[in-house]
Structure 1
Amino acid sequence: MNKKRGILLTIIIIFTFTGGFFSGVLYTNKHESKPYITVKQAQKSIKNPIQKEKPKLEKPNDRVLIGYIQDYRDPNMVDYSKLTHIIFSFAHPSKNGDILLNGELAIKNLRTMVAKAHKHDTKVMLAVGGWFHISGGESYSYFKAAISKPVSRTKLVNELVSISDREKLDGIDIDFEHPRSSTDAKNLMIFTKELSQKLHSRNKELSIAVNAKVHSVAGTEINNVVYNPTMFQYVNHVNIMAYDGQWDGGYNAANLSPYPYTENIVNYWTKLFDRNKLSKEKLVLGVPFYAQPVNPAINQVSYSAIIKNNPANAHKDTVKMNGTTYYYNGDTTVQKKTKLALDHGFGGMMMWEAGHDAKGQYSLTSVIYDVLNNRNLFASKENMNSKK
């Protein structure tokens, strides 16, 4: 009896194991036929994020490095690996709330830039506004009209959100140059709030470019550009255009963006944000990547052109070229400005514009990137030098 029971138990175990094995094979085969768990796709998903043969640069934690770039630039010339954000410039607002881009080339460049930037985890934003309008003259009157009435304002918001979705953008940058009254400031605040709500609900960003608000000669607050500080709570970044001081108090190229002028700007915005209980990490300090000529009849030149003339110019702030003297920011000044911003709790740096930068070892983008990435190292070097 016990022997029979043993044989029967053995048969049951063998049957159960064999049945379980075949049913497992059938289950696996059935589910592997579905495309979303094929072996090839699993391997592809593993390889995509990291290419070991060409590792990505590690970007500064919680610090932004933002480069504006004009719509006609070749997207292949940008060093996306060091930038956290690239801002494509510009979309032009119409008075009725439509937006205009500068032809098919601009659209093509934007799409190429998005594809390239996203491979480096660099965000792409679209700037709306700017100084000159595609239809001629300043953008001020067009932008002012668009945000002054609820209908056109809502249309402009919807148009910007639509293009950000359609072109896979990471956000929008507002460049209203410049609100000139309390009414302008109020309308800009309402527009910013409405646009912020729509973008942030889509996990997209909103930034705003602002006038330096400090007179480069007198060092006092500029009152003919008006902002409502409440507006800044709705944006991710406030990009301070800490340059173009050459126009204050009569043309003087030397006032483009010297270090003492930048100190005044940083102090002004630090106090403004402290007073209004706003996070200073939203503040982003802008630096110029172009040079201003003493003779205003001569065009500006890029930092790249200055380095091409003589690489030794990288360590200077003035150069004689084309029969005139140019003022600009060399690597030492840009390095000092970046440290100044970080020491005041700013969230990072911005440049106008990335297309003006030199390549290789003389790149100002690289100078800023290195300081943002190695703040403690930079500070310790400064302390060591001061003790010598």
Structure 2
Amino acid sequence: MKKRYIFLTVLIVVIFVGGFITGALLTNHNQTDQDIKIAKKSPPSSKGLEQKEMPKLSDDQSKALIGYVQDFRDPNQIDYSNLTHIIFSFVHPTKDGQVLFTGEHATQNLKKMVAKAHEQNTKVMLAVGGWFHLNGGETYDYFSAALSNQASQERLVKELVAIVERENVDGIDIDFEHPRTDDDARNLHVFIEKLSEELHSRNKEVSIAVHSKIHGQTLTELAYVKYETAMFHNVDYVNIMAYDGQWDGGYQAKNLSPYPFTESIVRYWANLFDSHKLPKEKLVLGVPFYAQPEDPNSKQLSYQTIINNNEQNAGKDVVTINGMTYHYNGQMTMLRKTELALQHGFGGMMVWELGHDATGAHSLTHTLSETISATTIKNYYTLKK
């Protein structure tokens, strides 16, 4: 019994010591495996490379995201966080060079919008013109007359500068739709020179909304809209209205703003600016936030309405609602257009009109902003190689 006890005691000690040694060996082995795995992921460098931070893009590399807002919109309902500029639309020129607001509600909304936008470091521009005039008919007749002589031109410049200073806006956007004669083009050029001289001396900006200059069906240059190219030296942004192609050559809603139409527009303006040695960073590609019905007698729908009907419509460009087919730009098309513009050296994107956007995950403004950020960083690294 005693011998058996001694034997059992020795056996227990051997097992304990053996287990301890085995555990130590396994621990070292596992540690070695872990070291090997880490080494495979992060091999030591003979150059002693350091972890680099994400690039801090300079102001020169920043891109604009510009949104037009109609003057009746509630300033409290606008998300300013993704925007570099808001363009408050519209004030109306008279033939003798005065400026008309649509009413007291418009001036109050402008004041509120300036205050809220500036809280988000978003600039506010005031748009002059548009398609329809407050006093009836197209704005063209009023704008053309106002620019046709020196006295009315200078009065218009003076009134706009006064509004800029009084309302603390950051600049003026000229939306003359559209200069149709050589005189129109020349007068617009002279006017822009005068306006930019006054505003730039006050550290304010000048932008101009321009026709796409491309036919929605044939994808060829339209000659009836005229601009003097030298005029673009005097503006900060050229907002290209790359939509409403449905009216070209007979109404076809599908030509509102399809991707091939936009490709032709981007090539045209990029080549124009290259050939005249103008900085393409001034070019801003416009996109629509509304849907065009195939029946011209029906009303347009907002993108918000399209999404309210079915969230899956965010991934489409065509939808049928209540028996009517509508054409628009969904999120993927917006992404592709943004990449297209920035890859051609454009300075950003423009929206008509912010009040039509959806909220939340399907917001087109958010899609544009995210794509601008991603493409800008991608281009940064590409240029650094």
TM-score, normalization by structure 1 = 0.82
Structure 2 counterpart SS, 1:133? coil
* Amino acid aligned to 2:195: L
- Distance in 1 between residues matched to 2:107 and 2:326, nearest whole Å: 34
Structure 2 residue 162 is the aligned partner of structure 1 residue 151: no
The residue correspondences of 1:316-355 to structure 2 (distance < 5 A) are 316-355=316-355
Q: What do you get for the CA RMSD once the two structures are aligned? A: 1.5
| One-letter code aligned to 1:297 | N
SS of match in other structure, 1:80: coil
The residue identity in structure 2 corresponding to 1:143 is F
Letter in 2 for 1:245: G
Partner of 1:117: 117
CA contact (8 A) 1:170 1:205 kept: yes
Q: Deviations over 1:164-195 (max 9, x none)?
A: 00000000000000000111000000000000
Runs of 4+ in 1 over 4 A off after TM superposition: 58-61, 376-380
Amino acid at match of 1:144: S
Q: How many angstroms apart in 2 are the aligned matches of 1:379 and 1:354?
A: 27
| Number of residue pairs matched by the alignment | 323
Q: Do residues 265 (structure 1) and 265 (structure 2) align? A: yes
Report the counterpart of residue 55 of structure 2 in structure 1.
none
- Name the counterpart of 1:105: 105
> SS of the counterpart of 2:179?
coil
Instruction: Give 1:214's aligned amino acid.
Output: I
- The 8 Å contact of residues 61 and 376 in structure 2, kept in 1 or not, is answered as no
Alignment-derived partner of residue 74 in structure 1: 74
Contact 2:244 2:255 in 1 (8 A): yes
Distance in 1 (CA, whole Å) between partners of 2:69 and 2:297 is: 25
Give the 3-state SS of the residue equivalent to 1:208 in structure 2: strand
Q: Classify 1:376/1:121 alpha carbon distance in 2 versus 1 (closer, same or farther; 3 Å).
A: closer
Partner residue, 1:21: none
1:291-306 counterparts in 2 under 5 A?
291-306=291-306
Indicate if the aligned counterparts of 1:60 and 1:373 stay in contact, CA closer than 8 A. no
User: Distance in 1 between the 2:59 and 2:338 partners?
Assistant: 15
Query: Residue 3 of structure 1 corresponds to which residue in structure 2?
Result: none
Residue identity matched to 2:224: N
The residue aligned with 1:39 is none
Partner Cα separation in structure 1 for residue 145 and residue 330 of structure 2:
39
Identity %: 60
User: Displacement of 1:377 after TM fit?
Assistant: 6.5
Classify 1:158/1:253 alpha carbon distance in 2 versus 1 (closer, same or farther; 3 Å): same
**Alpha carbons 1:371, 1:378 under 8 Å: kept:** no
> Structure 2: which amino acid aligns with 1:97?
G
2-structure distance, mates of 1:95, 1:181 = 17
Task: Report how far residue 378 of structure 1 moved.
Answer: 6.7
Q: Which residue of 1 aligns with 2:34?
A: none
Q: Give yes or no for contact 1:282–1:347 (8 Å, CA) kept in 2.
A: yes
Distance 1:174 1:328, change over 3 A: same
Work out the CA distance in 1 between the residues paired with 2:109 and 2:377: 38
Cα deviation per residue 1:182-215 (whole Å; 9 max; x = unaligned)? 1100000000000000000000000000000001
Question: What is the letter of the counterpart of residue 362 of structure 1?
Answer: H
Task: Tell me if structure 2 keeps the 8 A contact 1:98–1:159.
Answer: yes
Which amino acid letter does the alignment assign opposite residue 221 of structure 2?
A: E
Match of 2:62 in 1: 62
Task: Look up the SS of the partner of 1:333 in the other structure.
Answer: helix
Gaps of 5+ in 2: 1-57, 381-385
- Stretches of structure 1 that go unaligned for 5 or more consecutive residues are 1-57, 381-388
Separation in structure 1 between the aligned mates of residue 357 and residue 149 of structure 2, nearest angstrom: 40
Match of 2:87 in 1: 87
Q: Distance in 2 between matches of 1:282 and 1:224?
A: 23
SS at match of 1:273: helix
Deviation for aligned residue 1:328:
0.1
Which one-letter code corresponds to 1:210 in the other structure? V
- Give yes or no for contact 1:89–1:128 (8 Å, CA) kept in 2: yes
Deviations 1:260-317 (A, max 9, x none): 0000000000000011110000000000000000011110010000001100000000
Displacement of 1:321: 1.2
Determine if the alignment matches structure 1 residue 366 to structure 2 residue 360.
no
Residue identity opposite 1:147 in structure 2: L
Aligned partners of 1:101 and 1:356: how far apart in 2? 22
The separation in 2 between residues aligned to 1:229 and 1:320, in whole angstroms, is 42
- Over 3 Å counting, the alpha-carbon distance change for 1:377 and 1:188 in structure 2 is closer
Q: Secondary structure at the match of 2:147?
A: helix
**Mapping of 1:243-254 within 5 angstroms?**
243-254=243-254
In structure 2, distance between residues paired with 1:377 and 1:80: 22
1:348 Cα offset (Å): 0.2
Structure 1 pair 228/60, CA: closer, same or farther in 2 (3 Å)?
A: closer
Deviation of the 1:375 alpha carbon: 1.2
Deviation at 1:77, TM superposition (A): 1.3
CA contact (8 A) 1:59 1:84 kept: no
User: Structure 1 residues 378, 295: closer, same or farther in 2, change over 3 A?
Assistant: farther
Amino acid at match of 2:113: M
**1:81 aligned counterpart, secondary structure:** coil
- Which amino acid is 1:345 matched to? G
Question: What is the deviation of 1:232?
Answer: 0.2
The answer to whether the 8 Å contact 1:59/1:82 transfers is no
Structure 2 CA distance, aligned partners of 1:220 and 1:260? Answer: 12
| Residue 322 of structure 1, CA deviation | 3.2
Indicate the SS of the match to 1:368.
helix
Give the Cα–Cα distance (whole angstroms) in 2 for the partners of residues 193 and 300 of structure 1: 37
The structure-2 alpha-carbon separation of the partners of 1:253 and 1:349, relative to structure 1 and needing over 3 Å to count, comes to same
User: Counterparts in 2 of 1:102-251, with a 5 A limit?
Assistant: 102-251=102-251
Structure 1 equivalent of residue 19 of structure 2: none
Counterpart residue type for residue 233 of structure 2: Q
Tell me if the contact between 1:84 and 1:123 (Cα under 8 Å) persists in the aligned partners: yes
